[in-house]
Amino acid sequence: MRVTPDSVPRLRRGVRRQFDKTRDTAVLMAPERVIVLDDIADAIIMECDGHRSVAEIVTVLAARYQAPEDEISSDVTEFFEDLAQAALVTL
């Protein structure tokens, strides 16, 4: 599954983000699966609203973390490719 700057990622039906108080971490809840999110993954998921493109998400995160867009872009692209392959997002 190729993710491009124009791809618009959306959490697949049945997938939602939640904060797990017991383990003090954000998680993705999916059918019969729990995916623990680290801080970077959670920051990306929080921007994934089914409307914004990958390029727009990268711009927002690069500004927030004052990091080069190239670096953020490769992290975000790779992350969404993994999630798409695991049937957690659609593009």
Partner 1 sequence: MNQIAPRIAPPFAVMAELTHRCPLQCPYCSNPLEMLKARAERDTAFWRGVIREAAEMGVLQIHFSGGEPTLRSDLAELIAYATEQGLYANLITSAVLLNEDKLASYAQAGLGHVQISLQGADAETADHIGHYTGAHKKKLEVAKLVTKLGLSLTINAVVHRQNLEQLPRIIDLALQLDADRLEIAHVQYHGWAFANRAALMPTRAQFEAANALVDARREDIGARMQIDYVVPDYYADLPKTCMGGWGQKMLNIAPDGRVLPCHAAETIPGLVFSRADELPLSEIWEGGHAFNKFRGTSWMQEPCSSCALKEVDWGGCRCQAMAITGDAAATDPVCSRSPRHDAMNAMAAAEAQGAPHEFKWRRIL
Give the residues lining the site for partner 1 (CB under 8 A): 1, 12-16, 18, 20, 22-23, 27, 29-32, 34, 84-87, 91
The residue (of 23 and 64) whose beta carbon lies closer to partner 1 is 23
CB of 89 to partner 1, least distance (A): 9
Q: Which residues of 65-85 are buried (b: 16+ CB within 10 A; e: fewer)?
A: eeeeeeebbebbbebbbebbe
The residue (of 15 and 61) whose beta carbon lies closer to partner 1 is 15
The residue (of 62 and 86) whose beta carbon lies closer to partner 1 is 86
CB of 21 to partner 1, least distance (A): 8
Q: Which of 31, 44, 30, 50 has the alpha carbon at shortest distance from 91?
A: 50
Q: Are 80 and 89 in contact (CB under 8 A)?
A: yes
